[in-house]
Amino acid sequence: MRLRGKVVVITGAARGIGRATAVACAAEGADLLLLDVCADLAGVPYPLGSAGQLEHTAALCRDRGVSVLTAKADVRDAVSVRDAVELAIERYGRIDSVVNNAGIAAPSGKRVHEITEDEWSLMIDVDLTGAWRLIREVGKTMSDARSGSIVNIASTAGLVGYRHFAGYVAAKHGLIGLTKAAALDYAPMQVRVNAVCPGNVRDTTEGEGLMLREIARALDVPADEHVAAFTQSQPMNRLVEPDDVAGAVVFLASDDSAQVTGSVLTVDGGFSAH
């Protein structure tokens, strides 16, 4: 029970990696505040997590015997993020870890000169600035407590380039830069900041994930062909499971990683070792 007695806030918790991470943290004893936008966003061409999916994640976590709060929160909105942090502190009195998982994979599938101003701004606002907003809100609280762990869910797209995904690649590269800078800012206060870079994560029925399917759609290739190509491109010749990513997050949120900060942990089957 590596997280017993700790309070963990997770964004984008309705499904996919967020759901897997929430359940893994609950299994390790953490009390949780689970956040999701619980609505579709104009400009994102696929359905985002719903309120029903968020509540299902919460039920899975409560089955592990922990306390779970849920809230609708849009990481693009500073007030929404602030309210969520205040909710966690009001209920639990503290926040020990934040997992910045909320993110979008599209609008994508275009060359750089084809991306509109609105498409670029939307991607950066959700995938990069959203994480900064949450770090900004918990930074003082964690600094005052002289304890805390922030885990940013980046991507192999934060390490290498991908054709026709310039906005996503830029946002995830920026998230790794934010991770390193924030780690140095908060190290004197014993607050750790790290990033996890998943490779190609399988869309599971249990997790209700859509990421690989959406990337295939953006590239205008059949999903099965896309999955087969990604599987072959990974040295371990299999897709990453959501639970693989969740395990890395639990390690970084726990005291097992007490001297780990400013680090980038890849969970990609060896893809970025090329």
33 in a structural domain: yes
274 in a structural domain: no
Judge contact between 92 and 7, C-beta under 8 A. Answer: yes
Instruction: Report the pLDDT value the prediction gives residue 84, as an integer from 0 to 100.
Output: 97
pLDDT at residue 100 greater than cutoff 90: yes
pTM of the entire structure? 0.95
2 in a structural domain: no
Domain that holds residue 42: 7-266
Instruction: Report the pLDDT value the prediction gives residue 227, as an integer from 0 to 100.
Output: 78
Judge contact between 97 and 2, C-beta under 8 A. Answer: no
Q: If pLDDT is split at 50, 70 and 90, which confidence band does 186 have?
A: very high
Instruction: Report the pLDDT value the prediction gives residue 232, as an integer from 0 to 100.
Output: 81
Q: If pLDDT is split at 50, 70 and 90, which confidence band does 218 have?
A: confident
Alpha helices, DSSP H, located in 111-165 = 117-124, 130-145
CA distance 236 to 13: 28
272 in a structural domain: no
Mean of pLDDT values over 168-182? 98
CA distance 127 to 100: 9
239 in a structural domain: yes
Q: Which DSSP state fits 129?
A: I
Q: Which of 46, 92, 162, 168 is catalytic?
A: 168
117 in a structural domain: yes
83 in a structural domain: yes
Q: If pLDDT is split at 50, 70 and 90, which confidence band does 210 have?
A: confident
Residue 162 annotated to the active site? no
Mean of pLDDT values over 73-89? 97
CATH code at 41?
A: 3.40.50.720
Task: Count up the domains in the chain and report the number.
Answer: 1
pLDDT at residue 234 greater than cutoff 90: no
Instruction: Report the pLDDT value the prediction gives residue 221, as an integer from 0 to 100.
Output: 78
CA distance 102 to 60: 19
273 in a structural domain: no
Q: Which of 41-55, 172-186, 231-245 has the lowest mean pLDDT?
A: 231-245
Mean pLDDT score across all residues of the chain: 95
